[in-house]
A and B are shown apart, each in its own frame.
Chain A
Amino acid sequence: MSDSPIALEHHLEPHQQHHFVDMEQQKHAASLGMWLFLATELMFFGGMFCAYLIYRWSYPVEFGVGSRTLNLPLGAANTAVLICSSLTVALSIRATQMGKRTLTVVLLLLTMVFGLTFLVIKGFEWNEKYEKHHIPGASFRLSAEDLKGVNVDPQQMQDFQARTQTFYSLYFAMTGLHALHMIIGVGLFLYLTYAAWKGQYGPAYYTPLENGGLYWHFVDIVWIYLFPLLYLIDRNLQK
């Protein structure tokens, strides 16, 4: 910061908003703002993780049953897809830092492709759940196949099936909210790709891209936790 009073009418750099003293202040403000927003997102998903923790602790067998009915190959594939998308985001920012506009745009497009791929695979999974009557509600039921490997007293079966719905409720709530964040992310990146293609970002200024990337990585991290917590409960019992 300079030592002399800063006059009202000062030279504004490109992209600089008037209430900031200089671009560095603006960039630091934007970055802190995005990190704080991610902190709120952590608490937002965190509430559901709390529900998950309590119910998994309370109903471990039911959760195991539910988890084993999820499509593990698709879940693992989706995890890999998101990891690839984080790579392309990181590389796109690097490309911008080096002034390579075309490469930036290509990588951003790839990121969105990966994001959409994730959503399509998620759609298949949800459809599979629908067809197997695993959506909580009146038509929910577990098949004999689903209950393989678990000994449930026939008299308790109805209650057991009822309680298993807590797993699926959380599955849909958590993956649903995560998917919503993916959709928002793809929308955000549509805008960022367009702006990058228009040449708005370069080595001197790429703050929106950087902050968009932070959001995208956060959504990836949520899935990194969702995958083992939802898909990998007592998988060894399937043998």
Chain B
Amino acid sequence: MATTANFTAERENYLNANYGVRSWLLTTDHKRIALLYLASITFFFFVGGFFALMIRLELLTPAGDLVMADTYNKLFTMHGQIMVFFFLIPSIPATLGNFLVPMMIGAKDLAFPRINLISWYLYIIGGTLMMHCVLTGGVDTGWTFYTPFSTAFSNTKVIEAGLAIFINGFSSILTGLNFVVTVHRMRAPGMTWTRLPLFIWSTYATSVIFLLGTPVIAITLLLVVFERAFHLGIFDPNRGGDPLLFQHLFWFYSHPAVYIMILPAMGVISEIIPCFSRKRVFGYNFIAMSSIAIAVFGFLVWAHHMFVAGISLYSALVFSALSYLVAVPSAVKVFNWTATMYKGSVTFSTPMLYAFGFIGLFTIGGLTGLFLAALGLDVHVHDTYFVIAHFHYIMVGGAVMGFLGGMHFWWPKISGKLYPEAWGRLAAAIVFIGFNLTFFPQFVLGYMGMPRRYWQYPPEFQVLNVLSTAGSTILAVGYLLPMVYFTWSLRYGKPAGNNPWGAAGLEWQTQSPPTTFNFDEIPIVTQEAYDYENIPAPEEVPLER
């Protein structure tokens, strides 16, 4: 098949290679599986977003007047569970990762295409069970499932939710396994480790966390399920059970999980910034190694979630110090991205706007993490809205912005169409404004003492809560816009060429959309990554008129 641009006839590509539901549901093409995941995680984003909306509506007034307290417990629990396990954790790896990893390294597919499909089905089975749980009563333990409430006292569907997440965990594990084997074994000739795109480095680091961390939460949730189902007694205080044991096991995964959520977004940013600065990445080795460092150090800090739970003072000191250490590689990335832009030729395209937003918001989120890592401060702000603001700055201001930036950056490759750039920039601005209006007040609220997970609050907190809710509606608009114009672009968007952004990377050398097997011939790599001196810039950022 010719790889030159041809706008007159529709060439064969992975989207039109076969038609019919079976060709999608039984596909082993990593790109189709990526789209299956994209549809699924978008669905769960809506579900989790619905719960967020309900929370913000309740918090418009100090009184608990929209829902009952028990219902409110269910709202924040399911918001957290769905957003963490069914949206954020799979988001970039299972969509952009699945789509791009083989192409970026010059392979025809992942190492285990059928296992890739199985991982999606496991996600769907876990997700279906979760939806059943949601629709038949829900769960109210908090996304953290702390014992003994979850094992002995909660009257909600803990077993179902636990099993749903357990099954979903295997989806993660298989995805991570696939990526690690693919990167080790299927790189094209000449694609050495130091020529890999940084998105591959961060996806690889994420995959290591998938493999080593997820099994621990799997067994932990399974033990909770066994306890409830068979009355075992592992977490029953009356029978010697220790709530802190659960927390140690839970957070051993759930802290590295937050790095699962941020590392892929960092990888996306590392692709976007050099492209729209027309400059190779500053400190490639540092960024690559920092991804590995984040993955490794991320496993050493989990008990900073337990500072006030009853761990020993010495333990708390050690974990606090380690938590400061883990911030260093993240900071390294921020410095290197900034240095990449310095004296570059910067274009403020939509992906680049998201990248800027990411850097600013992730920095705030990360720095406030350091506030929380300080023992004295944590005693004051633990379990307040300060914590909520901190992690939303990272997960939404960071990870979701990275996801959106990546979707915009690679949309032309995925769909073969250009999205309307003006709308893209507008939506990015709306997301940024809406996000800050939603979550910045929460830092103040938390510092002033408003506890999290409370459905009513003292009247002096109302103004900030109203601002936050107002922000969330703006944020919702910002999220809906891309869904509309991406869909619009499928039909009416200008056809993208192979490389509308003039970006470096093997994926941009294929046609848009790519063929089923990506490459006519396996490429031989001779260039370093981000060879922007030798890649001509596109005449202009393609703008839909």
User: Which residues of chain B are within 8 angstroms of A6 by Cβ–Cβ distance?
Assistant: 521-522
Q: Is the CB of B212 within 8 A of A40?
A: yes
Mask for B183-202, Cβ within 8 A of A = 1, else 0?
01110010000000000000
User: Which residues of chain A are within 8 angstroms of B178 by Cβ–Cβ distance?
Assistant: 33
Q: Is the CB of A51 within 8 A of B240?
A: no
Q: Is the CB of B216 within 8 A of A37?
A: no
Main secondary structure of the interface of B (DSSP, over half): helix
User: Which residues of chain B are within 8 angstroms of A51 by Cβ–Cβ distance?
Assistant: 223, 234, 245, 249
The count of A-to-B residue pairs whose CB atoms sit within 8 angstroms is: 137
User: Which residues of chain A are within 8 angstroms of B216 by Cβ–Cβ distance?
Assistant: 43-44, 46-47
User: Provided the pairs A5-B524, A165-B239 are in contact, do residues A48 and B219 lie with their beta carbons within 8 angstroms?
Assistant: yes
CB distance from B279 to the nearest CB of A (A): 30
With A and B bound together, what is the CA distance between A136 and B107 in angstroms?
A: 53
With A and B bound together, what is the CA distance between A54 and B231 in angstroms?
A: 20
Which of A29, A50, A163, A169 is in CB contact (< 8 Å) with B249? Answer: A50
Interface residues in A208-237 by Cβ distance below 8 A to B read none
Does B241 sit within 8 A of A, measured CB to CB?
yes
Mask for A1-42, Cβ within 8 A of B = 1, else 0?
111011110000000011111000100110011001101111
User: Which residues of chain A are within 8 angstroms of B240 by Cβ–Cβ distance?
Assistant: 55, 58-59, 62, 162-163, 165-166
Q: Is the CB of B231 within 8 A of A47?
A: no
With A and B bound together, what is the CA distance between A183 and B219 in angstroms?
A: 18
Does A172 sit within 8 A of B, measured CB to CB?
yes
Q: Is the CB of B233 within 8 A of A169?
A: yes
Interface centre among A3, A36, A136 (most CB of B within 10 A): A36
Does B248 sit within 8 A of A, measured CB to CB?
yes
Mask for B209-220, Cβ within 8 A of A = 1, else 0?
001111110111
Q: Is the CB of B213 within 8 A of A25?
A: no
User: Which residues of chain A are within 8 angstroms of B242 by Cβ–Cβ distance?
Assistant: 54-55, 58
With A and B bound together, what is the CA distance between A138 and B238 in angstroms?
A: 12
Q: Is the CB of A172 within 8 A of B232?
A: yes
CB distance from B111 to the nearest CB of A (A): 4
Q: Is the CB of A36 within 8 A of B185?
A: no
User: Provided the pairs A19-B107, A51-B234, A169-B234 are in contact, do residues A43 and B239 lie with their beta carbons within 8 angstroms?
Assistant: no
CB distance from B29 to the nearest CB of A (A): 10
CB distance from A206 to the nearest CB of B (A): 19
Does B479 sit within 8 A of A, measured CB to CB?
no
CB distance from B405 to the nearest CB of A (A): 29
Q: Is the CB of B215 within 8 A of A47?
A: yes
User: Which residues of chain A are within 8 angstroms of B49 by Cβ–Cβ distance?
Assistant: none
Does A119 sit within 8 A of B, measured CB to CB?
no
User: Which residues of chain B are within 8 angstroms of A3 by Cβ–Cβ distance?
Assistant: 189, 524
> In the complex, what residue of chain A is closest to B234 when comparing beta carbons?
A169
With A and B bound together, what is the CA distance between A25 and B181 in angstroms?
A: 11
With A and B bound together, what is the CA distance between A136 and B226 in angstroms?
A: 12
With A and B bound together, what is the CA distance between A163 and B237 in angstroms?
A: 9
With A and B bound together, what is the CA distance between A21 and B185 in angstroms?
A: 10
Does A194 sit within 8 A of B, measured CB to CB?
no
Mask for A132-157, Cβ within 8 A of B = 1, else 0?
00001110000000000000000000
Does A170 sit within 8 A of B, measured CB to CB?
yes
User: Which residues of chain B are within 8 angstroms of A17 by Cβ–Cβ distance?
Assistant: 113
Q: Is the CB of A32 within 8 A of B181?
A: yes
Does A173 sit within 8 A of B, measured CB to CB?
yes
Q: Is the CB of A25 within 8 A of B185?
A: yes
Which of B113, B173, B180, B223 is in CB contact (< 8 Å) with A19? Answer: B113
Interface centre among A5, A18, A51, A173 (most CB of B within 10 A): A51
Q: Is the CB of A136 within 8 A of B231?
A: yes
Does A191 sit within 8 A of B, measured CB to CB?
no
* A interface list, Cβ under 8 A from B: 1-3, 5-8, 17-21, 25, 28-29, 32-33, 36-37, 39-48, 50-51, 54-55, 58-59, 62, 136-138, 162-163, 165-166, 169-170, 172-173, 177
What are the 7 closest A-B residue pairs judged by CB atoms, nearest first? A163-B240, A47-B219, A44-B215, A5-B521, A43-B215, A19-B109, A169-B232
* B interface list, Cβ under 8 A from A: 107-113, 173, 177-178, 180-182, 184-186, 189, 211-216, 218-220, 222-223, 226-227, 230-234, 238-242, 245, 248-249, 252, 517, 519-524
11 contacts between A and B (CB under 8 A): A1-B189, A5-B521, A19-B109, A20-B186, A29-B185, A33-B178, A39-B211, A43-B212, A43-B213, A47-B249, A54-B242
Known contacts A6-B521, A166-B239; 19 further A-B pairs (Cβ under 8 A):
A5-B521, A8-B517, A8-B521, A19-B107, A25-B186, A32-B180, A32-B185, A33-B178, A37-B177, A40-B215, A44-B218, A46-B219, A54-B242, A62-B240, A136-B230, A137-B230, A165-B233, A166-B233, A173-B223
